[in-house]
Amino acid sequence: MTGSLSPQPLQQAAGDVDWSGVRGAVRNYVLGRTGRHDLADDIAQETVASLIEYGRTHQIATIYGLGFRIAGKLLLKHHRAAARMSEDEIAESHASNDPLPDHMVAVRQDVALVSRILRRMPRLRREVLVRRRIRGESCATIAQALNMSTKAVEKHITRGLRDLNDALDRRDLHE
């Protein structure tokens, strides 16, 4: 059973939320970024607590979307504390560029692998990925700049992501 996109009510009562599902998905996200089970458990727990608290005073349009965002921020906070960097909450765009310290060696190998996969992609797809991920341009802006449809931009991004993911999966299998 996949791809179900049946209409759903926009507002969900907090009681209806499958919190264990949210916790599990966030846990996998942190695990995917750090490879650390203890950290994944802690952050998943804190994320769910934050979501519940936030939901008391705000209407949340996407619980999962916000959950992943909160987890990303918490991970950054942990990373910063671990690295004893400045407590500056603002300079996160810089801090997030630094790989997690316990992952340095793996990260270096990954960058080489990811670079290789990227360079095998069509030039246009690389260009789309850089504009979207690094420069934060919208699909509409990219479409206009590269003279293609926004649908084509979306396809370059989703296809690029899948190619990267497949290649990393194959690497994991052979390890």
Reduce the DSSP state of residue 70 to 3 states and report it: helix
Q: Does 52 bind other proteins (CB under 8 A)?
A: no
Q: Could you give the CA distance from residue 149 to residue 8 in angstroms, rounded to a whole number?
A: 29
Q: Does 130 bind other proteins (CB under 8 A)?
A: yes
Q: Does 150 bind other proteins (CB under 8 A)?
A: no
Binds other proteins (CB under 8 A): choice among 19, 77, 148, 159: 159
Binds other proteins (CB under 8 A): choice among 39, 100, 142, 143: 100
Residue whose C-alpha is closest to residue 99's, from 81, 113, 79, 116:
79
Least Cβ distance, residue 1 to other proteins (angstroms):
6
Do the beta carbons of residue 61 and residue 87 sit within 8 Å?
no
Q: Does 90 bind other proteins (CB under 8 A)?
A: yes
The tokens of 89 are what? 């909450």
Q: Does 36 bind other proteins (CB under 8 A)?
A: no
